[in-house]
Structure 1
Amino acid sequence: MKTYFPYQLKYVGVLFVFIAIVLSCIGNVDEFMRGLLAGRNDFETSILNEEATKVDQTLAYQPYFSEKEKDNYLKISLILSLSGFILYLFSKEKSEDEFYQQLRAKCLTQALLVTWLFTGLIYWIRPTYQLNGFYILQLHLIFFTIIYVYNKKWKFGTE
């Protein structure tokens, strides 16, 4: 397994992933606020039974983004996340040798196994839940990153 990116692109990859996390949070702010206000609404209506309709009207939530805007944020987030993980994982190390190539290959195989076991577990627990292929790929890259960093830093003690 050869790496094709220079070492400095690791930092660009990490930056892309952080930007993707921020964009994903921005795109999902409406769902967060709906859940927050629904929980608050249930709490307040149980206390103020006589004013339940008044509380419902004051806590009615107007979304910030339309569905199209939300989808755009989430698509951009997914693309940045995938490209960031790829840049990080396939950039050279400071001193690249055969050990790192074998470690990458081993971690890639382990991450593939963990990804499909995790995906199978999700489908087994909730059969109606649908995972998009890009989300499975993103999950695979996340597991690959975790396994690679664990093996590189703690198991073999390099760097």
Structure 2
Amino acid sequence: MAQGSTSSRSRTASLEYDAPDPAAGWLDIAVLVEHELSAMSAQRLLDMYPMRKATLRYNLVRAATDGQAEAANAMIGESLDRLDALGAHGTGTVSEQTAVDALRQVIEETQSEEVVVVSRRHRLNSLLRRDLASQARARIDLPMVHLVER
């Protein structure tokens, strides 16, 4: 994969809360994943949006630097499988850009309206504001939630 290139996967199942409002269309949510989504995190992600009338689409993105594209694609695939098992619609993108740059690209491409950063707890990095969530908050002007894997 060339510098800055991406690969994508998509699932067709959709998750609709309440009766979908045709005028509402999709609500795109960009999800920056540091590691594979656990079953618990996938469920927590879906539980964050129980009152939405629009059909939700989770756009997962993972940076794959230093030749880790194959492992990142597998991780995105497993995460999409977990979302699919819960009935959610998702897409996955692996990029050789930095994590925040890859996230910004997905936001632009999908017109995502919200951002979720899913990562493991990094106490020192969080304290120093060097974790992914802090970096994304500093560079992206959208509502953002940091979901910490347990």
Q: If the TM-score is normalised by the length of the shorter chain, which range does it land in?
A: under 0.3
Bigger fraction of residues in strand? 2
Scaled by the length of structure 1, the TM-score of the pair is: 0.24
Scaled by the length of structure 2, the TM-score of the pair is: 0.25
Q: Which has the larger radius of gyration?
A: 1
Bigger fraction of residues in helix? 1
